[in-house]
Amino acid sequence: MNELLRKTATEQSKALKNKEISAVELTEAAFKRIDDLEDKLGAFNSLTKETALNTAKKVDEKIAKGEELPLLAGIPLALKDNMNLVGSKTTASSKILENFVSPFNATITQKLLDNLIPIVGKANLDEFAMGSSNENSAFKKVHNPWNLNKVPGGSSGGSAASVASCEATLALGSDTGGSIRLPASFCGIVGMKPTYGRVSRYGLIAFASSLDQIGPFARSVEDAANLLEVISGHDPKDSTSLNLPVEHYAASLKDDIKGKKVGVIKELMSEGLSDDVAKAMEDAIETYKKLGCEIVEISLPKLKYSIGIYYILATAECSSNLARFDGVRYGYRTPGAKNILEMYTKTRAEGFGPEVKRRIMLGTYALSSGYYDAYYKKAQQMRALVTEDFREAFKKVDVLISPTCPNTAFDLGAKASDPLQMYLTDIATISANLAGIPGLSVPAGFDKDGMPIGLQVLAPQLQESKLFNMAYQFEQAHDYWKQLANI
């Protein structure tokens, strides 16, 4: 493997500018790495070689002419396969979209192309981003690069595994209840969910529109900050996108954090925490103390309801969003149905996997007349109270910390037959989506089996710069982030 692939995007950018390697060579090296590993990892649903190499060529032309390069130009990136890239398949890892070719680019994809970032392929995910282990893909499971018998986390498991194994240097994922932060923590990398509305969702296949947000994966906080800068911004095509200027998020990474207040979420520090994760959290608290921060215990009393709230709201929204996959407009259509009703029902019965069907049924139930007030409306009211908990907390502290997950990556198959156990994996991440606040997972150590542990850092809405600053200072105090999976 080309050693440069192990480096961060910042270092790779330098190597490109210094002409130690060309962008085409770097992209080809990434494809070679993918060829070597894909049988074991399953991180990609498809590769987009032509697009990637064309982009890399443009980077090399600019370098030859001595022109200024856009941020992250030439750095190989994996795109979660629920985001549209013109001319490539966008499957959402579902049979129903198995042969769907994107007719347009997502706004974030266009931004990547404008910045000359080679998109090497479409990363595997849980079907329609529903899951926490990437075992719900209709095509193949993703394996964790640190231990191939373990899950990479989900739903953006392919994105995380590709970056952790150096198949790609960067990746994009989507996070509805933790799907960026959880796989980042299981794979020992940085994953970040921005403030709701910071990044356009146009061209992302919608799961739960009031919760979905696209965000970066990288092997360093600095790279994640830079990638967020590239994809952020107002988009008239997404009415929920915020019309606010984009910051240069990496500018404040090195700011001193002495005197900052770090809140430790009480409810996430006790129950169900594995010993190794509990120890890593103690160490994280010590690190922040050494960096001069004040540690404050914070209680979020409504947090315990967040999984219940989420599984009503997210399923309700998905039952509506997925109504469009009916055999008429997109993707798969059942052959030989006798009438239109049979065509709809058979198409959906054959096209969707079991978890997606479970969610559609739960959501339809929660929205049906007679149950709407008892479930959907109540969940909306509770969501407001969870948000209020955070608002109160952020009056007292700058950021909140917790484990990203109470445990490290589990064995493939361990939770696959128990949906409730799987849902509980997201206990620490889901509430940030309900409140629309930014959060990230940064490497914070290893368990006794050598599997990565993630520290979650949460900040108030639109305080991404502070979030990256606090995470960067933690990251740089250790060398966990420099350790790579031995694959």
**Interface ranges with ligand GLN (CB under 6 A):** 129-132, 155, 174-179, 207, 314, 426
Cis peptide before 155 (omega within 30 of 0): yes
Shortest CB 359 distance to ligand GLN, Å: 8
Residue 263 or 436 with smaller CB distance to ligand GLN: 436
Nearest-Å Rg of the Cα atoms of the chain is: 21
Active site residue 239: no
- Greatest Cα pair distance in the chain: 71
Q: Is 413 left (phi over 0), alpha (psi -120 to 50) or beta?
A: left
Residue 28 or 426 with smaller CB distance to ligand GLN: 426
Residues near 369 by beta carbon (within 8 Å), at least 6 away in sequence: none
Cβ contact 191:225 at 8 Å: no
Q: Helix (H, G, I), strand (E, B), or coil: what is residue 150?
A: strand
Catalytic residue among 13, 22, 62, 80, which?
Answer: 80
Strands 261-265 and 294-298: parallel
Residue 427 CA to its chain's centroid (Å) = 16
Helices (H), 232-291: 275-290
Active site residue 270: no
Shortest CB 355 distance to ligand GLN, Å: 8
- Total Cβ atoms within 10 A of residue 223: 26
Residue 76 or 131 with smaller CB distance to ligand GLN: 131
Q: Residue 86 corresponds to which amino acid?
A: V
Residue 281 or 312 with smaller CB distance to ligand GLN: 312
Residue 207 or 375 with smaller CB distance to ligand GLN: 207
Shortest CB 195 distance to ligand GLN, Å: 16
Shortest CB 217 distance to ligand GLN, Å: 13
- Total Cβ atoms within 10 A of residue 181: 35
Residue 284 or 312 with smaller CB distance to ligand GLN: 312
Give how far Cα 290 sits from Cα of 162, 175, 414, 426, 479, Å. Answer: 34, 32, 38, 30, 16
Residue 323 or 340 with smaller CB distance to ligand GLN: 323
Shortest CB 472 distance to ligand GLN, Å: 24
CA distance 327 to 341: 11
Shortest CB 273 distance to ligand GLN, Å: 19
**Nearest residue to ligand GLN on Cβ basis:** 179
Q: Helix (H, G, I), strand (E, B), or coil: what is residue 397?
A: coil
Paired residues of 77 in beta bridges: 119, 170
Residue 131 or 351 with smaller CB distance to ligand GLN: 131
Helices (H), 42-140: 49-64, 107-114
Active site residue 80: yes
Residues near 404 by beta carbon (within 8 Å), at least 6 away in sequence: 178, 181, 182, 184, 185, 428, 429, 441, 454, 455, 456
Catalytic residue among 159, 179, 220, 232, which?
Answer: 179
Shortest CB 178 distance to ligand GLN, Å: 5
Give how far Cα 392 sits from Cα of 252, 302, 341, 400, 471, Å. Answer: 25, 12, 50, 12, 22
Shortest CB 190 distance to ligand GLN, Å: 17
Which residues of 71-175 form beta strands (DSSP E)?
77-80, 119-123, 170-175
Catalytic residue among 132, 155, 174, 431, which?
Answer: 155
Residue 132 or 469 with smaller CB distance to ligand GLN: 132
- Output b/e per residue, 330-347; b: 16+ Cβ within 10 A: ebbbbeeeeeeeebbebb
Residues near 336 by beta carbon (within 8 Å), at least 6 away in sequence: none
Shortest CB 79 distance to ligand GLN, Å: 15
Cβ contact 442:137 at 8 Å: no
Q: Catalytic positions, please?
A: 80, 155, 179
